[in-house]
Amino acid sequence: MQVNDQLTQRLCTSMNGLNVRIARLASALHVSLNDPIAMDMLMATRQTQPIVNERRTASIGLAQVNVSADRRRSHLQDELRGLLVLRLQLEVASLNNNGLSVTLQAMTQAEEHLIRQGFEPGADGLDLDDFFKVN
């Protein structure tokens, strides 16, 4: 049983970090991840194009980068989308490799951790009741 506990703890730690970062990004971007329309709009947004020409300038030995607010928002949206996809892949892999009970336990603990951090339930866009709903 100790191996299962260690596995659950590692999985929970990974999910804790992902869920907190997802919730923080969603809050900063004012994106309601509980709203399917907002989620669809976020996922449909085009990825930010990389900067072709380097725009750094030297100033007393320090590099300065001027990034517009729109570009910064686009980068944060890219990160949020990537983390949502990563979390889904982690959940699917956990279900396939560890089974329902381990995955459910880790996801429940991660949700509880998120609430202890001061976030509302579901701030990370994950509703455990819907996720594990069997029709």
Confidence (pLDDT) at 71: 81
As beta bridge partners, residue 76 has: none
Whether 33 contacts 124, CB under 8 Å: yes
User: Is position 61 within any domain?
Assistant: no
Nearest to 84 by CA among 12, 22, 41: 22
User: Is position 60 within any domain?
Assistant: no
Tell the burial category of 37 from Cβ atoms under 10 Å away from its Cβ (0-12, 13-18, 19+): exposed
* Higher-pLDDT residue of 78, 129: 78
pLDDT band at residue 104 under the 50/70/90 scheme: confident
Q: Determine the average pLDDT of the residues in 19-28.
A: 94
Q: Taking all residues of the chain, what is their mean pLDDT, rounded to a whole number?
A: 82
At residue 57, φ and ψ (nearest 5 deg) are: -125, 145
Confidence (pLDDT) at 1: 41
Which tens digits make up the pLDDT trace of 40-74? 888 888 777 666 555 555 555 555 556 678 888 88
Angstrom distance (rounded) from CA 17 to CA 86: 12
DSSP, res 48: P
User: Is position 56 within any domain?
Assistant: no
User: Is position 55 within any domain?
Assistant: no
pLDDT at 120 over 80: yes
pLDDT at 18 over 90: yes
User: Is position 62 within any domain?
Assistant: no
Question: What is the number of domains present in the chain?
Answer: 1
Question: How far is the CA of 43 from the CAs of 3, 23, 91, in angstroms?
Answer: 37, 16, 18
pLDDT at 5 over 90: no
Residue-number span of the structural domain to which 36 is assigned: 2-46+68-131
Cα 7 from chain centre: 21
Which tens digits make up the pLDDT trace of 76-99? 999 999 999 999 999 999 999 989
User: Is position 93 within any domain?
Assistant: yes
Whether 25 contacts 78, CB under 8 Å: no
Of 10-14, 77-81, 125-129, 131-135, the one with minimum mean pLDDT is 131-135
User: Is position 90 within any domain?
Assistant: yes
User: Is position 63 within any domain?
Assistant: no
16: Cβ contacts below 8 Å, ≥ 6 apart: 109, 110, 113, 114
